[in-house]
Amino acid sequence: MRKHIFNAGPCKLSDMALENTAKAVMELGTCGQSILEVSHRSSDFQAIYDETVALFKEVLEIPDNYSVMFMGGGASLQFCMVPYNFLKTKAAYIDSGTWSTKAMAEAELFGEVVEICSSKDRDYVYFPEIPEIPADVDYLHITTNNTIRGTEILKDIDSPVPVIADMSSDICSRPVDVSKYDLIYGGCQKNLGPAGLVFVIIKNEFLDKVVADRKIPTMLKYKTHVKNGSMYNTPPCVNIYTVGQTLKWIKESGGLKEMERRAIAHSDALYAEIERNSMFIPVVDEGSRSRMNIPFIMAPGKEELADAFMAACKKADIVGIKGHRSVGGFRASCYNACTDEDVAALIQVMKDFENSQK
Ligand SMILES: *Cc1c(COP(=O)(O)O)cnc(C)c1O
């Protein structure tokens, strides 16, 4: 039996993406080979790759003057590839939590990092107010959803300099205005597919004009991957296949407006229960709350019941709600494939747990 999966990443995927991937692992179409065996240079795979890119462009409404790439290395490799390719003298960074802090540490290897705002003072429980963005930086880096802390900026910002966004954990959960960004990247394992694959969306003019003047190893150059259609080396073929199936599922389900409607319904329902239930309290300030990752802790005086609540979740086939090891408490991650039934099951356990303590 499938459990109610609230894992933060890798995360739950749609039945359609799983079933079609399982079939393709046995045989891709009628080509007599598995997706694990087929050559990435074959027309069979090229068709899959092209369809995946086309679906991504359609679903996310990516303008024509942008290129899409898929590559390995995880979002963490992008923390270094971004400054390696684009940081000439200094770059502005928004410090909104663990992942942005890691991105800043990598950028410091290549130039000056200007931290324009931070929510570190209160342990990242809110999304920092963005001040005036300096005009003399090469780019501004933003993490739109802070997976570990559960904060999210739900708007596209206006900026006098190119904006580079880590959208690992909220990509395709709502419509975004891609034209406001020069580069968007993310690990696929939180809303699109399996771990180990990264998507990069880049404005062509940005890539052509703005690259830093330094020697960059071939594999770490964005130009290499754009020029070779993500096939300079062997790409993670099965991961790309699954992302394609997820995008097809998103499209058939009603696109990003529907993903957003579900995300709002799920996060609103969970937050309403966290606020109502005397056993729990929320962590994140109202107005900064992520729709994807919802952290909560035991109410004051109830701390010693945390293990009992975890046990109750386990009994109800709910997995993945333990908070990140650096933060503690609980975190329910409700990515695109999360269903109404999953959320209802978690809310029921919370209600039952409260009643059991009366
Ligand atoms: C998970 C995550 C990462 C790291 O992704 P990897 O693929 O594990 O390197 C980076 N940024 C954000 C916002 C994330 O949620």
Asked if 298 and 329 count as a contact pair (C-beta separation under 8 A), the reply is: yes
Name the least confident of 6-15, 113-122, 207-216, 276-285.
Answer: 207-216
Task: Check whether 17 has a pLDDT greater than 90.
Answer: yes
Fold of domain 15-253: Aspartate Aminotransferase; domain 2 (3.40.640)
Q: Is 169 in the pocket of ligand 1 (CB under 6 A)?
A: yes
Q: Is 335 in the pocket of ligand 1 (CB under 6 A)?
A: no
Tracing tokens 């909220």 back to the chain, one arrives at 170
Q: Is 229 left (phi over 0), alpha (psi -120 to 50) or beta?
A: left
Q: Is 191 in the pocket of ligand 1 (CB under 6 A)?
A: no
Average pLDDT over residues 6-29: 97
Output the average pLDDT for the chain. 96
Residue nearest to atom 2 of ligand 1 (CA): 168
Q: Is 196 in the pocket of ligand 1 (CB under 6 A)?
A: no
Model confidence, pTM: 0.97
Mutation pick for ligand 1 pocket among 106, 153, 169, 184 (CB with most ligand atoms within 8 Å): 169
Beta-carbon count within 10 A of 276 CB: 12
99 an active-site residue? Answer: yes
pLDDT of residue 325: 80
Task: Check whether 312 has a pLDDT greater than 80.
Answer: yes
Structure tokens at 151: 């904060």
Average pLDDT over residues 110-135: 97
Domain layout of the chain by residue ranges: 15-253, 255-356
| Rounded-to-10 torsion of CA 117, 267, 280, 284 | 10
**Ligand 1 atom showing the smallest separation from residue 147 Cα:** 15
Beta-bridged to residue 66, according to DSSP, are: 203
Q: Is 168 in the pocket of ligand 1 (CB under 6 A)?
A: yes
pLDDT of residue 208: 85
**Ligand 1 atom showing the smallest separation from residue 145 Cα:** 13
203 an active-site residue? Answer: no
Tracing tokens 């080509």 back to the chain, one arrives at 31
CA atoms within 13 A on the CB side of 262: 23
Residue nearest to atom 7 of ligand 1 (CA): 74
**Ligand 1 atom showing the smallest separation from residue 79 Cα:** 10
Structure tokens at 154: 């739900």
pLDDT of residue 276: 98
Task: Check whether 97 has a pLDDT greater than 80.
Answer: yes
Beta-carbon count within 10 A of 130 CB: 17
Q: Is 98 in the pocket of ligand 1 (CB under 6 A)?
A: no
Asked if 124 and 149 count as a contact pair (C-beta separation under 8 A), the reply is: yes
CA distances from 250 to 58, 192, 259, 337 (A): 11, 9, 7, 9
358 an active-site residue? Answer: no
Structure tokens at 177: 């205005």
CA atoms within 13 A on the CB side of 128: 21
Task: Check whether 156 has a pLDDT greater than 80.
Answer: yes
Share of the chain above pLDDT 70, in %: 100
Mutation pick for ligand 1 pocket among 164, 168, 188 (CB with most ligand atoms within 8 Å): 168
Q: What are phi and psi of 9, to 5 degrees?
A: 150, 125
Name the least confident of 141-155, 199-213, 329-343.
Answer: 199-213
pLDDT band at 270 (very low <50, low <70, confident <90, very high): very high
pLDDT of residue 330: 97
Q: Is 323 in the pocket of ligand 1 (CB under 6 A)?
A: no
The CATH number, out of the four listed (3.40.50.720, 3.90.1150.10, 3.30.930.10, 3.20.20.60), of the domain defined by the range 255-356: 3.90.1150.10
Q: If you measure from the C-alpha of residue 11 to the centroid of ligand 1, how many angstroms do you get, rounded to a whole number? A: 12
Task: Check whether 91 has a pLDDT greater than 80.
Answer: yes
pLDDT of residue 273: 98
pLDDT of residue 210: 76
Task: Check whether 132 has a pLDDT greater than 80.
Answer: yes
Q: DSSP letters along 221-248, please? A: -HHHHHHTTT-SS---HHHHHHHHHHHH
